[in-house]
Every structure is written in structure tokens, then in C-alpha cells.
């Protein structure tokens, strides 16, 4: 299906880029530790910057993980179902649980982010870092999660989904 | 709609979603959203976003999760840990269940370096699951020992759970850390004893090393020096930097990932492709763990605001019985709640009721809280809602059935209950160390 | 009858939550039949940093806070919460009740669709707890100190130390492990309950970084407007009564804890020369911060005008006066920045 391929490609691309950030914030943390103990000259920004990078990192990966079916589920009951019934149950799971959550996550974090942007919100110590970019990325991430859910749902409906590895 | 009914509906939806096989993270999140509508309070939905941002995105301690997973990935994808476990297995070839024992002891060490539930289980799962299954250990024993030992990280300090407990009680973080040290290590040792006994009486579950596999003492020593010592030094190095005050737990996890990469490079096992695929695997695993935290925080917030918190508190408050029976009752309640709720929810709803009662009884608050921390170890393992079960499910290959994982943890739940009885009977197991460390205050 | 959901920035173990509970009890008694406030301790509904957003968006009707947490949204919240070496507790009470302070709180919170009732005041915070003694500015050089606040951080850096931002729950362990050289947290009784005497040996007084602090409740404007004028007045009465009670309560608790600390750690007082130097630097920081933000300047100007207005009688009534008239920042410099 064209549409699922496009949606999958978006999250695959985001995932492959964002995945690298873990190494970046690891490096910043180590740099800060070294500056503190070897040069006795700690950075003023490392704490807030790594914290924000971490938030950006994991939240942007939600859709990517969904595409790879990495979000854990319990298969105690479902492994006894026939493929036809399983498809109905899986689709129902998306309708009952996933879409209400992802929709609220997306729309409410939109309000959350725009309010922060309007206030030009920053952290409140001597180092004032803007907070709204992280809040905006939470909204974008919720959008990515939502479209990946749409893709998975279509794949379930039309039987295009391979079993999880 | 009355709060008791809403609470029942929430648990009903949670179980329904779990058994439908929908991803846990979204079952939790979806249940939270649906409940606000069922309760007729859609305007409280905003707190879901407040909680996701404040508790998960804006949280320095959680940074340790991707970093520890990254460390484990570097070590396992380059084959370093496979070789480490192989050499440990040969080292312990004369001891039954050697590999399982190695898992317990490495977990105790790891537990002292990390305090977040997802981190240590994932680290041990990624490193030890494959070698144990490969060498013929039963699926139940393998998953059970990894899941149970992996949870020690949250009882043996440092621990995010103990930090939260301190902030909701009059106890300091230091007292709680010191108080749970002895019970935590003892629990780990009891796992070791159990694993040893199983492998003696049920060799089919934990096969011994075949005589023809054994290698000469010299070859073994060389193998140990090259294969086992560096990764163990790494773990001790992280622990050391933590204890020496060079780094916080979060910083130690970054140092761990960096040292792991160094070991891989020194072994000549570094390839850009495995380096990048380790990052991708880490991305998927970290997102899996942290989105469960996202769902859980949404669930807890809605449970609290729609009246579940108050309803549960009313039930507990209505209990009226002898002190020792009351404490037993409280622990039973914590145990039962542990099957359905995550530990933050349990601490939040029980502490405000339990602690004033405990204060009136004039028994040691420290002893009570640590006892509860030990009981809460079961919450990670008891189905249907147990983090350890979920994390292991995510890491284990498909041929390990979920039923096997659950069967595997049952004996360890029994061991935890035994440890609770021991701590209850001998309070000095808790109070001795803090009394020595903190003479005043 | 209306029902409100209210939470706070404080977990149940921090004694600061007593002020919130005192207000809620009193308000619920006074407004019986009209309004019922259901109070949740910190963390039960939203994390501390999100209480503001939850009230602003109307997810909950009321949230107890320390205004300084919101300085990232408007720097004016900082002087509404505390001052570096300027106001004491009585100054805050005077200013809020009779010198126009209450209107200023409502003007700043009003920008975010909220009404504010200040209801708790604490006087001087403890100051730094360290493992090496701090007696003067030399001892402060290069130290990594946990400290919250914008002006506070700037002041510390001007005095030669480094500000470390850190959540309350992480301080204890960081002190124990030596990740930071020292920390300030709150008033002596709150510090004692945090166990800081177990991980530090020295305490430097006074807490010049936070000469006094204000706490209160943010109320969503729509929820407030939905109340009858009588109910609104009853809430105001509950807030005023709690404010008076808190002054005596928190000073009593601080005295009790001071005695406990005196037996557990070595307490050093900065010498007068050091304190004069700190005052000078604090004045500079206040003018600088005020001139970066017109709304912050407006708050500071009102505070300085109060000090100037009150100065004559306060000094005439010495030694029976309430507190000191500080040798504070240049009021004209701040006035020049109000419209800037
Ligand atoms: Na730990
Ligand atoms: Na459980």
C-alpha cells in the first residue's frame, strides 16, 4: 500500500537519525564529568542540555518503535487465537486504546506547546535555556506516533502485517 | 459515577487491553483517556500531558536507561559478553548452575550501579539470556533468575524507588539506602542459594559442563583474563566512580557506555555497522521502556484524580485490628496492589495512610518502609502487571513463551515473601547499618 | 456547591505542605455549603514543575506553589517569591497587605489567567550546608553549590561560586557522594527533615540568597469568577489568617531545628564585611535583572518604594522596629527600567 509505505518511511527516517543522539548526550555527560574532575571547570549548561536531549530522543522514537513492533505486549491469550480472530482483536486494540490515547497526546500537547511558545518559556536558573522547543517536539512526536498507528492499523485491516519477530 | 466503580473500570480496561495483546504502553495510556470520559471529567485530560512532560521528558534520572542499554548492546553485539559468560561457565564448571550463579552475582554488582527498574533487567537480559539458553538452561530458570535478579537494582541502593519513598516519608535518602542494603544483598544471596539447590536436584534444568568441554587450568586463566576480567572491571569501575563521588548514577551510566565501547575497540571488534545497529537497537528498547513509563504516569494520574486514590485509601483506613495484624494486612495489601499497579502508584496511595498509623504504633518507621520496599520487589514479578515480565518479554526470543516467563518467576516471588518474613522477624537486619552510619539525627 | 481540585508543589514529607493544609482546612470550614476543596499532595496529580500549567489550562482549579518556580515564564515571579538580601517576612506581609503587593501578584498571575492568594511567609532561609567551612567570600571561591533561582544564581556567580541546578530529591545523595560541595534547600526545620545534618558538617548563616519567601495558591480565573463575592471573600479571609499563622509557626519550627542543628554541625556566621559585600553585589544583580525585564522591574520598583516609604518610621522606632531598612539597590536605576 502506498500510504503505509510513506508513513513507514517517515518514521524509519526519523528513527535512524534520532537514534544517534544517545551517543551525543553520553558524550556531553562524560565531557562534563571530565571538565569537573580533571580541569575543575564544570560546564554550566550540560545538565539542562542533556536532560532536554534525552526527552527529545526517546519521545521522537515512539513511532519508530511502533513500526518495528518493539512496544511490548502480552501474548498469553492472543497466541491461542486463529489468524482471522487475531486480526479483529488487534484492530479493536487500536480503536479502543491506541487512537484515543494518541489523539489526546497529539492535540493536548499541541495546546501545551503553543502556550509555552507564546510565553517564550525558559528554565529558571542563572542559565536560561528555552523550554518550548522540547515541548514542541513532544507534539511532533505525538503526531509521528499517531501516523504510525494509522499505518499499522491499515496493515492489520488489509492483512499486510508480518508477524512480530 | 462513584470512585470505587471508576477504579474497578480502570483495572478492567487494563486487563482487557493486556489480554487483547495490545502494547502495554498504549493500554495504559488509552485506559487513562477513556476513564476521564467514563468518569465525566474530560477536562482533567490536561494532567496527562503535564505528567508525561514533567515525569518522563524532563527527568534527569531516566537518562540512565538508554545509556545502560547502549552499554549492554555494545558488549553483547560484539560478542564480548558471550565470551565472558562462556569463560565464567568454565570457571565454575565444578559448581552446579555456574552460569545462573554468575547472573545473580553480576546482577548484585549491577544493582549497586543503577536504580531504575528497566535498566538492570534489560542489561542482564541482553547479555545473559542468549548464553544461558544456548548452554541448555531451562527457559523457566533462565527467565526467572534474570527477571528476579534484575529487580534487585531497585532494592539495593542507589534506587529511584527509595528516593521517592524518602520524599514521601520523614526518612532521609541516606537512612533508606543504608537500611535496604542488607535485606537487598541477602535477597540476592538467597537467589544464589536457590539456583544452586535447583541445579543440584534438577540437573535437567541447569546442565553441568560436560567433561570433554573442560579446558586446562592455564587456558582457563588466560581466557578469564581476556574475556571475563575486562567487562567485570567495567562494572566495578562504574560502581567505583559512583562510590568515590566522581559521578552520580546518571553520569556513571554514561561512563559505563563509554568504557564498554573502549573494550569493544580494544578487542578489535569495532565495526561501524555494529556500532550503528547497536544505536538502533538501543533506540527501540529505550523507546519501549520509556513509553511504558509514559503510559503508567498517565494511568496513575487519572486513577488519582478520578477518585481511585481516595477510594483505596478509605478501604485501608477502615481496617481496625491489632498492630501486628494490621502490619501484616498492610503488606498483604501492598502485595495485592503490586499485581495491578506500578510501584509509584502504590507508594503514593499507601504512604499517606500507612505512615501516620505506623508513627502512632511507635515502631521503627525505617523498618516498616524497608519491609514495604522488599514486598514491592514482588510487584515487578507478579502477573498480570509486572514490569520485569514485560521487559523480559520484549527481549526474549519468540520461542520463550510468556507462560514460561511467568512460571519462571514464581519461585523467586516465594523467596521474596520468605525474605519479608525474615526482615519482619529480625528488624536489626534493617536498622543495624543505618545506626552505625548515622549516629546522630 | 462547587468542588475544586487543588494540589501543591510539595510532597507530603516537606513541612512546607503544612501551610497548604492549614489554608485548605480553614477555607473548607468557612465556605461550607458553597465550596469544597479536595486537596492532593504534591506529585499525586502532576509533578511539581507542572502545577502552574495544570491550573492555567483549567485541568485543576487551584495549585499551591512558591512563585519562583515560574520565573522561566516571567522573571517577575522571582521577586514575588523571594529576594536576595532585601525583604524579610514582615516586609512581605506589609507590602502585600497595605503597600499594593497583592495587586501586583494578581497582575502578574493575571497574565496567565490566574488569581493569586499569598498565604504563607517564611523568614530567612538556612543558607549553605557544606563539608568545608564557609566564613567569608574566599571560602566561597570555585565551590559548586546547589542553589535555586535566577537572581540567586547570578549573585553566587558574581561572588565566585558556581550554581548547580538540582531537584530536591537528588541533593542528599549528591552531597553524600561529593558531586556538589554544598547546598541550600529551605528553612532549618525543612532541612533537618531532609537529613542534611547527616551528610554535611558545616552551616553558613545567614541565608543571604533568600532573605524571606512567599507561598500561596494559584486559582484559575474562570473558577474564581464563578464563585459568589461572599465565597471569594471567605477564601481571602482564610488566606490572610493563614499568612499570620505561618509567620509564627515557621519561625517557631525554625528555632527548634536551629537548636538541633547546633548540636549536630558547626554553625558559622559570615562577618559583617562579607555581608556588606554581598549586599552590594545583590543590589547590582537586582538592578541588572530588573533592567532585563520590564515586569520584573515593576515588581522591584514597588518593593523599593515600600522600603523607602516605610524607612522613616521604621528607623525612628528603633530599637523597637520590625526588621532593618536595607542599604538596597538604586531605586532610580530600577525606575528607569520599568518602561524599558
Ligand atoms: Na540499585
Ligand atoms: Na505485579
Could you give the CA distance from residue C119 to residue C243 in angstroms, rounded to a whole number? 4
Are C70 and A115 within 8 A, CB to CB?
A: no
Element (H, E) at C102: helix C101-110
**What is the CB neighbour count within 10 angstroms for residue B42?**
12
* Residue B157: predicted pLDDT: 81
Which residue of chain A has the CA closest to B399?
A165
Give pLDDT tens digits for B123-143: 888 888 888 898 889 999 999
Could you give the CA distance from residue B230 to residue B211 in angstroms, rounded to a whole number? 27
| Ligand 2 centroid, distance to B337 Cα (angstroms) | 8
Among B158, B166, B304, whose Cβ lies nearest the Cβ of C40? B304
C30's grid cell: 468557612
Least confident of A50-64, B47-61, C172-186: C172-186
Say which residue, C7 or A38, is predicted with more confidence: C7
* Residue B416: predicted pLDDT: 96
Cα separation values, B200 from B98, B140, B149, B158, B203, Å:
11, 16, 20, 34, 6
Chain B residues near residue A108 by CB distance under 8 angstroms: 45-46, 48-49
Are B283 and A94 within 8 A, CB to CB?
A: no
Could you give the CA distance from residue B135 to residue B330 in angstroms, rounded to a whole number? 42
Give pLDDT tens digits for A3-20: 889 999 999 999 999 999
Confidence of residue C12 (pLDDT cuts 50, 70, 90): confident
Q: What are phi and psi of C157, to 5 degrees?
A: -65, -35
Provide the 8-state DSSP code for A122.
B
Q: Is the pLDDT of residue C167 over 70?
A: no
Domain ranges of chain A: 2-158
- Nearest ligand by distance to the CA of B378: 2
Which residue of chain C has the CA closest to B353?
C12
Question: Which residues are C62's β-sheet partners?
Answer: C6, C219
Could you give the CA distance from residue B265 to residue C291 in angstroms, rounded to a whole number? 53
Least confident of B78-92, B293-307, C181-195, C271-285: B78-92
* Residue B423: predicted pLDDT: 93
Are B48 and A105 within 8 A, CB to CB?
A: yes
Residue count of chain A: 165
Give pLDDT tens digits for C240-264: 999 999 999 999 999 999 999 999 9
Among B25, B49, B255, whose Cβ lies nearest the Cβ of A33? B255
Helix, strand and coil in chain A, % to nearest 5: 75, 0, 25
Query: What is the average pLDDT across C115-136?
Result: 95
Query: What is the average pLDDT across B349-377?
Result: 86
Chain B residues near residue A74 by CB distance under 8 angstroms: 18-19, 21, 24, 384, 390, 393, 402
* Residue C17: predicted pLDDT: 92
Q: Has the ipTM of the complex gone over 0.85? A: yes
**What is the CB neighbour count within 10 angstroms for residue B323?**
13
* Residue B247: predicted pLDDT: 73
Instruction: Please enumerate residues of C whose Cβ is less than 8 A from a Cβ of A.
Output: 53, 56-57, 68-74, 78, 112, 142, 144, 148-150, 152-154, 156-157, 162-166
Give pLDDT tens digits for B417-438: 999 999 999 998 888 888 877 6
Say which residue, B199 or A126, is predicted with more confidence: B199
Q: Is the pLDDT of residue B293 over 90?
A: no
Domain ranges of chain B: 3-438
Say which residue, A140 or B253, is predicted with more confidence: A140
Which residue of chain B has the CA closest to C165?
B60
The nearest CA of chain C is from the CA of A35 a distance in Å of 13
Q: Is the pLDDT of residue A1 over 80?
A: no
Greatest mean pLDDT among B5-19, C41-55, C214-228: C214-228
Greatest mean pLDDT among B357-371, C115-129, C150-164: C115-129
Least confident of B4-13, B135-144, B352-361, C144-153: B352-361
Using a pLDDT cut of 70, give the percent of chain B over it: 96
| Ligand 2 centroid, distance to B388 Cα (angstroms) | 9
Question: Which residues are C269's β-sheet partners?
Answer: C205
Are C73 and A125 within 8 A, CB to CB?
A: no
Pairing of β C182-183 and β C129-130:
antiparallel
Q: What are phi and psi of A95, to 5 degrees?
A: -70, -45
Which of B3, B115, B157, B173 is the best mutation test for C, with the most CBs of C within 10 A?
Answer: B173
* Residue C61: predicted pLDDT: 97
Greatest mean pLDDT among B98-112, B206-220, B296-310, C212-226: C212-226
**List of residues 6+ apart from B436 with CB closer than 8 A:** none
Are B54 and C194 within 8 A, CB to CB?
A: no
Using a pLDDT cut of 90, give the percent of chain B over it: 28
Q: Which of A138, A106, A105, A135 is nearest to A120 (CA)?
A: A135
Chain A residues near residue C164 by CB distance under 8 angstroms: 42, 47
Chain C residues near residue A44 by CB distance under 8 angstroms: 162-163
Are B30 and A134 within 8 A, CB to CB?
A: no
* Residue B252: predicted pLDDT: 80
Rg of chain B, C-alpha, whole Å: 22
Give pLDDT tens digits for B317-357: 777 777 888 889 889 989 998 888 888 778 877 887 788 78
Give pLDDT tens digits for C298-307: 999 999 999 9
Q: Is the pLDDT of residue A160 over 90?
A: no
SS (H, E, C) chain B: CCHHHHHHHHHHHHHHHHHCCCCHHHHHHHHHHHHHHHCCCHHHHHHHHHHHHHHHHCCHHHHHHHHHHHHHHHHHHCCHHHHHHHHHHHHCCCCCCHHHHHHHHHHHHHHCCCCCHHHHHHHHHHHHHHHHHHCCCCHHHHHHHHHHHHHHHHCCCCCHHHHHHHHCCCCCHHHHHHHHHHHHHHHHHHHHHHHHHHHHHCCCCCCCCCHHHCCCHHHHHHHHHHHHHHHHHHHHHHHHHHHCCCCCHHHHHHHHHHHHHHHHHHCCCCCHHHHHHHHHHHHHHHHHHHHHHHHHHHHHHHHHHCCHHHHHHHHHHCCCCCHHHHHHHHHHHHHHHHCCCCHHHHHHHHHHHHHHHHHHHCCCHHHHHHHHHHHHHHHHCCCCCCHHHHHHHHHCCCCCCHHHHHHHHHHHHHHHHHHHHHHHHCCHHHHHHHHHHCCCC
Q: Is the pLDDT of residue B441 over 60?
A: no
- Nearest ligand by distance to the CA of B117: 1
Confidence of residue B13 (pLDDT cuts 50, 70, 90): very high
Could you give the CA distance from residue B125 to residue B148 in angstroms, rounded to a whole number? 11
**DSSP letters for C302-328:** HHHHHHHHHHHHHHHTTTSSSS-----
- Output A47-50 pairs: Cβ under 8 A, ≥24 positions apart: A47/B60, A47/C164, A47/C165, A47/C166, A48/A123, A48/A125, A48/A127, A48/A129, A48/C165, A49/A25, A49/A129, A50/A25, A50/B60, A50/B63
| Ligand 1 centroid, distance to C252 Cα (angstroms) | 39
Burial of B432 (0-12, 13-18, 19+ CB in 10 A): middle
Confidence of residue B209 (pLDDT cuts 50, 70, 90): confident
Neighbours of chain C (3+ CB pairs under 8 A): A, B
Sheet containing strand C202-205, edge to edge, reads: C162-164, C144-146, C182-183, C129-130, C202-205, C266-269
Give pLDDT tens digits for B47-101: 999 999 998 898 877 888 888 888 888 888 777 777 777 777 777 777 788 888 8
Among C78, C112, C144, whose Cβ lies nearest the Cβ of A42? C144
B-C contacts at Cβ under 8 angstroms: 114
Say which residue, A153 or A2, is predicted with more confidence: A153
User: Quick check: A62 contacting B, CB < 8 Å?
Assistant: yes
- Nearest ligand by distance to the CA of B119: 1
Give pLDDT tens digits for C81-117: 999 999 999 999 999 999 999 999 999 999 999 999 9
- Nearest ligand by distance to the CA of B154: 1
Neighbours of chain B (3+ CB pairs under 8 A): A, C
What is this structure's pTM? Answer: 0.88
* Residue A10: predicted pLDDT: 94
* Residue C30: predicted pLDDT: 97
* Residue C245: predicted pLDDT: 97
Amino acid at each position: 500500500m502506498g500510504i503505509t509505505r510513506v508513513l513507514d518511511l517517515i518514521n524509519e527516517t526519523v528513527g535512524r537519525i534520532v537514534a544517534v543522539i544517545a551517543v551525543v548526550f553520553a558524550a556531553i555527560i562524560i565531557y562534563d564529568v571530565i571538565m569537573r574532575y580533571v580541569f575543575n571547570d564544570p560546564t554550566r549548561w550540560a545538565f539542562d542540555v542533556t536532560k532536554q536531549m534525552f526527552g527529545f530522543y526517546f519521545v521522537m522514537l515512539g513511532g519508530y518503535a511502533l513500526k518495528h513492533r518493539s512496544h511490548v505486549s502480552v501474548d498469553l491469550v492472543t497466541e491461542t487465537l486463529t489468524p482471522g480472530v487475531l486480526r479483529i482483536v488487534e484492530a479493536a486494540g487500536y480503536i479502543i486504546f491506541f487512537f484515543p490515547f494518541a489523539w489526546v497526546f497529539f492535540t493536548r500537547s499541541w495546546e501545551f506547546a503553543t502556550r509555552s511558545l507564546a510565553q517564550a518559556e525558559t528554565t529558571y536558573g542563572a542559565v536560561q535555556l528555552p523550554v518550548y522547543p522540547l515541548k514542541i517536539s513532544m507534539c511532533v512526536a505525538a503526531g509521528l506516533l499517531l501516523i504510525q498507528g494509522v499505518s499499522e492499523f491499515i496493515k492489520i485491516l488489509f492483512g499486510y502485517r508480518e508477524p512480530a519477530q | 459515577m462513584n470512585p470505587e466503580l471508576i477504579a474497578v473500570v480502570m483495572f478492567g480496561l487494563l486487563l482487557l487491553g493486556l489480554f487483547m495483546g495490545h502494547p502495554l504502553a498504549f493500554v495504559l495510556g488509552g485506559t487513562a483517556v477513556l476513564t476521564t470520559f467514563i468518569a465525566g471529567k474530560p477536562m482533567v485530560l490536561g494532567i496527562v500531558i503535564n505528567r508525561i512532560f514533567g515525569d518522563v521528558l524532563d527527568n534527569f534520572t531516566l537518562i540512565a536507561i538508554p545509556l545502560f542499554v547502549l552499554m549492554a548492546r555494545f558488549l553483547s553485539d560484539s560478542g564480548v559478553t558471550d565470551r565472558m559468560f562462556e569463560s565464567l561457565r568454565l570457571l565454575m564448571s565444578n559448581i552446579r548452575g555456574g552460569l545462573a550463579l554468575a547472573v545473580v552475582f553480576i546482577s548484585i554488582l549491577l544493582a549497586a550501579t543503577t536504580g531504575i527498574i528497566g535498566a538492570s533487567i534489560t542489561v542482564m537480559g541482553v547479555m545473559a539470556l542468549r548464553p544461558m539458553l544456548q548452554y541448555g538452561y531451562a527457559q523457566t530458570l533462565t527467565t526467572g533468575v534474570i527477571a528476579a535478579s534484575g529487580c534487585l537494582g531497585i532494592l539495593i541502593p542507589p534506587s529511584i524507588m527509595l528516593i521517592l519513598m524518602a520524599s514521601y516519608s520523614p526518612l532521609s535518602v541516606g537512612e533508606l539506602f543504608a537500611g535496604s542494603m542488607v535485606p537487598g544483598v541477602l535477597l540476592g544471596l538467597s537467589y544464589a542459594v536457590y539456583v544452586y539447590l535447583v541445579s543440584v536436584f534438577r540437573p535437567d534444568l541447569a546442565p553441568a559442563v560436560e567433561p570433554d568441554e573442560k579446558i586446562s587450568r592455564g587456558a582457563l586463566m588466560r581466557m578469564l583474563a581476556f574475556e571475563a576480567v575486562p567487562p567485570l572491571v567495567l562494572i566495578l569501575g562504574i560502581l567505583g566512580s559512583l562510590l568515590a563521588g566522581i559521578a552520580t548514577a546518571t553520569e556513571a551510566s554514561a561512563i559505563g557506555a563509554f568504557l564498554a565501547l573502549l573494550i569493544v575497540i580494544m578487542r578489535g571488534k569495532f565495526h561501524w555497522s555494529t556500532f550503528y545497529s547497536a544505536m538502533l537497537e538501543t533506540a527501540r528498547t529505550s523507546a519501549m521502556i520509556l513509553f511504558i513509563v509514559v503510559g503508567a504516569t498517565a494511568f496513575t494520574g487519572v486513577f488519582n484524580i478520578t477518585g481511585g486514590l481516595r477510594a483505596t485509601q478509605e478501604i485501608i483506613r477502615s481496617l481496625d485490628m491489632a498492630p501486628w495484624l494490621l502490619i501484616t494486612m498492610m503488606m498483604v495489601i501492598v502485595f495485592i496492589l503490586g499485581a495491578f499497579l506500578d510501584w509509584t502508584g502504590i507508594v503514593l496511595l499507601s504512604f499517606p495512610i500507612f505512615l501516620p498509623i505506623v508513627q502512632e504504633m511507635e515502631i521503627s518507621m525505617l523498618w516498616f518502609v524497608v519491609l514495604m520496599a522488599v514486598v514491592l520487589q514482588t510487584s515487578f514479578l507478579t502477573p498480570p502487571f509486572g514490569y520485569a515480565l514485560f521487559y523480559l518479554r520484549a527481549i526474549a526470543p519468540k520461542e520463550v513463551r510468556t507462560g514460561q516467563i511467568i512460571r519462571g518467576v514464581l519461585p523467586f516471588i516465594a523467596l521474596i515473601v520468605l525474605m519479608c518474613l525474615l526482615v519482619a522477624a529480625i528488624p536489626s537486619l534493617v536498622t543495624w547499618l543505618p545506626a552505625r552510619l548515622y549516629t546522630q539525627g | 456547591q462547587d468542588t475544586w481540585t487543588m494540589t501543591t508543589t510539595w510532597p507530603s514529607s516537606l513541612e512546607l505542605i503544612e501551610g497548604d493544609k492549614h489554608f485548605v482546612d480553614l477555607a473548607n470550614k468557612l465556605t461550607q455549603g458553597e465550596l469544597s476543596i479536595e486537596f492532593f499532595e504534591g506529585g499525586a496529580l502532576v509533578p511539581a514543575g507542572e502545577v502552574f500549567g495544570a491550573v492555567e489550562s483549567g485541568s485543576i482549579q487551584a495549585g499551591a506553589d512558591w512563585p519562583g518556580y515560574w520565573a522561566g515564564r516571567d522573571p517577575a515571579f522571582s521577586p514575588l517569591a523571594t529576594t536576595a538580601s532585601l525583604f524579610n517576612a514582615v516586609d512581605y506581609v506589609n507590602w502585600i497587605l497595605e503597600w499594593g503587593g497583592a495587586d501586583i501578584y494578581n497582575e502578574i498571575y493575571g497574565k496567565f489567567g490566574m488569581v493569586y492568594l499569598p498565604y504563607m511567609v517564611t523568614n530567612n532561609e538556612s543558607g549553605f550546608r557544606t563539608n568545608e567551612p564557609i566564613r567569608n567570600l574566599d571560602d566561597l571561591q570555585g565551590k559548586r553549590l546547589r542553589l535555586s533561582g535566577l537572581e540567586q544564581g547570578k549573585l553566587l556567580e558574581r561572588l565566585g561560586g558556581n550554581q548547580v541546578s538540582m531537584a530536591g530529591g537528588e541533593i542528599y545523595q549528591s552531597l553524600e557522594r561529593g558531586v556538589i560541595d554544598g547546598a541550600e534547600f529551605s528553612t532549618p526545620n525543612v532541612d533537618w527533615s531532609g537529613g542534611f545534618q547527616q551528610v554535611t558538617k558545616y552551616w553558613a548563616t545567614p541565608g543571604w540568597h533568600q532573605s524571606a519567601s512567599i507561598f500561596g495558591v494559584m486559582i484559575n480565573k474562570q473558577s474564581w469568577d464563578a464563585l459568589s463575592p461572599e465565597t471569594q471573600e471567605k477564601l481571602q479571609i482564610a488566606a490572610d489568617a493563614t499568612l499570620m499563622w505561618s509567620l509564627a509557626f515557621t519561625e517557631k519550627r525554625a528555632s527548634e531545628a536551629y537548636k538541633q542543628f547546633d548540636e549536630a554541625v558547626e554553625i558559622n556566621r559570615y562577618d559583617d564585611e562579607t555581608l556588606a559585600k554581598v549586599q552590594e553585589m545583590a543590589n547590582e544583580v537586582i538592578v541588572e535583572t530588573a533592567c532585563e525585564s520590564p515586569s520584573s522591574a515593576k515588581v522591584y520598583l514597588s518593593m523599593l518604594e515600600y522600603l523607602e516609604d516605610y524607612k522613616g518610621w521604621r528607623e525612628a522606632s528603633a530599637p523597637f522596629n520590625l526588621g532593618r531598612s536595607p542599604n538596597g539597590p538604586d531605586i532610580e536605576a530600577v525606575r528607569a527600567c520599568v518602561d524599558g
